[in-house]
């Protein structure tokens, strides 16, 4: 083995890479301990030093020409190693700690956490895969960003970019909500000190007249004539399906089941009726199982899917006579099963897709002559609205709606309550004794013309 000394410049290293025999070393003439060693895979740039115990140690900086290792970088790294030695430190320990910290920082990036711990968590959930895809697509430019470095300014820029692409505010809000949940997950597990987006929300753009009209139509109750039209539309839907089946059986398809002798031609009518009578979300009906239904006790007991992350235990919901009648008829028609989905897919028997009721609802709505902007979800809002207007207390309505927080019920339905507070103060006032002059004055005082012409004038300011 031979060794010699010269200044390890780029030109020198290029030459040594071709000429230096395997195992041979060349030492730098300027940096004591800095040298190059020839191996099977090329030149290794190294630093030799003695630790505090007096033992000789060699630290390999890297292979020349691999990655970013150049002559200049090798000389710079060697100087840093020798500086650590001069201060009494152990370069290998220091650099290994630095690498460990770099690896830890890499694990804290959004992409690393998304692919690692968060994927494990989300795969346990029904819509977990969709959540992972949502975050990955919406925040693709942030995947290499450490989670703790995401700021409000980043969110504001991101919102501006999404708006420029025409994305709806509600969609952007769902994207950000998914990201904030991920960051909260990381903070709870001490991967990052805290959720950097806690308390940060998107700036709401001004709503157009069309958007305000759409929002009003989505969260409203059905008028009496609309309810009649809805049930007439369901009957018309069933009649049309029966007529189609009769025609099919009469023209070469006699093997198809006869629909004239069954209560329901398919799942559509019982699904819509049950949603009308229970106020359940469509997703909870898609996931409803016969195991959840207790017909003798007239109840449904199940975990509500939307709030399952907050409340995993099942909740019990009472059923009206009408809802029980629907379920009994459908149960008999399905062969009185004890388990399985109440509304399975007609194609594969599995859970229906979340969009499975869009076309059937459009068909029923058209037959009923109902507005095109009346959503299936409006049946849920109608359920709550009618209960509140009938005088049912908000706590009971909140439980029947399976709201995670009664504030949700108050926010959307409290304005529909009968004005019991006005009745209360009137009753209190009438109980007070009145002087004869006051009573006479009250009887003689004419009703103000403004209140006769405008009966709603007393409600100004509400």
Residue from 359, 363, 332, 325 nearest 235 by CA: 363
Q: Which of 69, 88, 107 is the last residue of a domain?
A: 107
The verdict on 69 and 83 lying in the same domain is yes
Number of domains in the chain: 3
368, pLDDT greater than 80: yes
Q: Which residues, other chains included, contact 276 with Cβ-Cβ below 8 Å and sequence gap of 6+?
A: 230, 379, 382, 383
Confidence label for 90 from pLDDT (cuts 50, 70 and 90): confident
> How many CB atoms neighbour CB 257 within 10 A?
9
Handedness of CA 429, 435, 436, 438 (dihedral sign): negative
Q: For the residues 219-242, what does the mean pLDDT come to? A: 94
- Provide the token pair at 445: 């005082």
Q: What is the pLDDT of residue 458?
A: 36
Q: The sheet that has 293-294: what strands, in order across it?
A: 293-294, 299-302, 315-318
Whether residue 118 contacts residue 132, with contact meaning beta carbons closer than 8 Å, is answered with yes
Say if 361 falls within a structural domain: yes
Say if 268 falls within a structural domain: yes
Q: 160 exposed, middle or buried (CB, 10 Å; 0-12, 13-18, 19+)?
A: exposed
- What distance in Å separates the CA atoms of residue 172 and residue 169, rounded to the nearest whole number? 5
The verdict on 195 and 255 lying in the same domain is no
- Residue range(s) defining the domain that contains residue 161: 110-204
The verdict on 230 and 365 lying in the same domain is yes
382, pLDDT greater than 70: yes
Q: Any alpha helices (H) in 139-281, and if so which ranges? A: 152-164, 169-188, 209-218, 224-250, 268-278
Q: What is the pLDDT of residue 148?
A: 87
Residue from 144, 138, 93 nearest 115 by CA: 144
Question: Lowest-confidence range among 1-10, 142-151, 246-255, 431-440?
Answer: 431-440
Q: For the full predicted model, state whether its pTM sits above 0.85.
A: no
Say if 147 falls within a structural domain: yes
Say if 406 falls within a structural domain: no
Strand partners, 46: 35, 60
**31-38 contacts at long range (C-beta below 8 A, 24 or more positions apart):** 31/75, 31/78, 31/79, 31/82, 32/82, 33/78, 33/82, 34/8, 34/74, 34/75, 34/78, 34/82, 35/3, 35/8, 36/8, 36/64
CA 147 to centroid of chain Cα atoms: 18
The verdict on 264 and 364 lying in the same domain is yes
Strand partners, 26: 4, 36
The verdict on 198 and 148 lying in the same domain is yes
Say if 133 falls within a structural domain: yes
Say if 91 falls within a structural domain: yes
Phi, psi of 390 (to 5 degrees): -85, 0
Strand partners, 4: 26
The verdict on 289 and 358 lying in the same domain is yes
- What distance in Å separates the CA atoms of residue 242 and residue 179, rounded to the nearest whole number? 48
The verdict on 233 and 183 lying in the same domain is no
249, pLDDT greater than 70: yes
Whether residue 335 contacts residue 371, with contact meaning beta carbons closer than 8 Å, is answered with no
Q: Which residues, other chains included, contact 320 with Cβ-Cβ below 8 Å and sequence gap of 6+?
A: 277
Whether residue 197 contacts residue 335, with contact meaning beta carbons closer than 8 Å, is answered with no
The verdict on 96 and 114 lying in the same domain is no
- What distance in Å separates the CA atoms of residue 397 and residue 126, rounded to the nearest whole number? 27
Instruction: Specify the CATH number for the domain of residue 170.
Output: 1.10.150
The verdict on 158 and 81 lying in the same domain is no
> How many CB atoms neighbour CB 335 within 10 A?
6
CA 220 to centroid of chain Cα atoms: 24
Q: Which of 204, 234, 263 is the last residue of a domain?
A: 204
The verdict on 171 and 242 lying in the same domain is no
Residue from 72, 4, 67 nearest 35 by CA: 4
The verdict on 284 and 199 lying in the same domain is no
Question: Lowest-confidence range among 237-251, 311-325, 420-434?
Answer: 420-434
- Measured CA to CA in angstroms, residue 119 lies from 111, 131, 178, 324 at distances of 11, 10, 13, 41
Q: What is the pLDDT of residue 91?
A: 76
Q: Which of 170, 204, 238 is the last residue of a domain?
A: 204
Q: What is the pLDDT of residue 436?
A: 60
Instruction: Specify the CATH number for the domain of residue 261.
Output: 1.10.443.10
Say if 300 falls within a structural domain: yes
Mean model confidence pLDDT for the chain: 86
pLDDT above 70: percentage of residues in the chain: 87
Q: What is the pLDDT of residue 461?
A: 35
Strand partners, 300: 293, 317
Tell me the helix, strand and coil percentages in the chain, rounded to 5: 55, 10, 35
pLDDT in tens, 167-183: 888 899 999 999 999 99
Say if 417 falls within a structural domain: no
- Provide the token pair at 418: 């009968």
Confidence label for 152 from pLDDT (cuts 50, 70 and 90): very high
The verdict on 116 and 102 lying in the same domain is no
């Amino acid at each position: 083995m031979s060794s010699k000394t010269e200044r390890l410049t780029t030109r020198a290293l290029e030459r040594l890479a071709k000429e230096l025999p395997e195992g041979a070393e060349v030492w730098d003439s300027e940096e004591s301990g800095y040298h190059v060693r020839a191996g099977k895979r090329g030149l290794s740039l190294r630093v030799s030093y003695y630790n505090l115990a007096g033992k000789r140690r060699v630290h390999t900086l890297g292979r020349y020409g691999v990655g970013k290792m150049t002559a200049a970088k090798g000389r710079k790294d060697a100087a840093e190693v020798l500086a650590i030695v001069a201060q009494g430190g152990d370069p290998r320990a220091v650099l290994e700690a630095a690498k460990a910290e770099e690896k830890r920082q890499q694990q804290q990036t959004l992409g690393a956490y998304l692919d690692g711990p968060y994927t494990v968590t989300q795969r346990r959930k029904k819509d977990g895969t969709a959540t992972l895809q949502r975050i990955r697509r919406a925040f693709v430019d942030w995947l290499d960003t450490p989670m703790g470095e995401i700021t409000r300014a980043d969110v504001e820029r991101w919102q501006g970019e999404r708006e420029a692409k025409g994305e709806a505010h509600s969609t952007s809000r769902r994207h950000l909500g998914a990201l904030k949940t991920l960051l909260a997950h990381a903070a709870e597990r001490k991967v990052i000190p805290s959720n950097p987006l806690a308390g940060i929300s998107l700036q709401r753009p001004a709503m157009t007249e069309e958007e305000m009209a759409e929002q009003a139509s989505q969260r409203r109750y059905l008028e009496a004539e609309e309810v009649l039209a809805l049930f007439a539309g369901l009957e018309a839907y069933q009649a049309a399906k029966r007529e189609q089946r009769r025609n099919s059986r009469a023209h070469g398809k006699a093997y198809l089941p006869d629909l004239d002798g069954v209560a329901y031609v398919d799942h559509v009518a019982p699904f819509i009726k049950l949603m009308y009578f229970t106020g359940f979300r469509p997703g909870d009906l898609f996931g409803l199982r016969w195991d959840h239904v207790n017909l003798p006790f007239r109840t449904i007991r199940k975990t509500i899917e939307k709030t399952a992350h907050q409340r995993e235990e099942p909740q019990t919901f009472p059923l009206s006579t009408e809802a029980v009648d629907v379920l009994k008829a459908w149960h008999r028609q399905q062969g009185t099963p004890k388990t399985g989905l109440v509304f399975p897919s007609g194609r594969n028997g599995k859970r229906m897709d979340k969009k499975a009721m869009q076309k059937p609802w459009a068909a029923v709505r058209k037959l009923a002559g109902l507005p095109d902007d009346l959503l299936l979800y409006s049946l849920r809002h109608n359920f709550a609205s009618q209960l509140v207007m009938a005088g049912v207390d908000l706590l009971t309505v909140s439980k029947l709606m399976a709201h995670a927080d009664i504030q949700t019920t108050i926010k959307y339905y409290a304005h529909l309550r009968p004005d019991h507070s006005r009745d209360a103060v009137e009753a209190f006032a009438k109980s007070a004794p009145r002087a004869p002059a006051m009573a006479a004055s009250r009887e003689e005082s004419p009703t103000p013309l403004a209140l006769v012409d405008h009966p709603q004038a007393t409600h100004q300011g509400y």
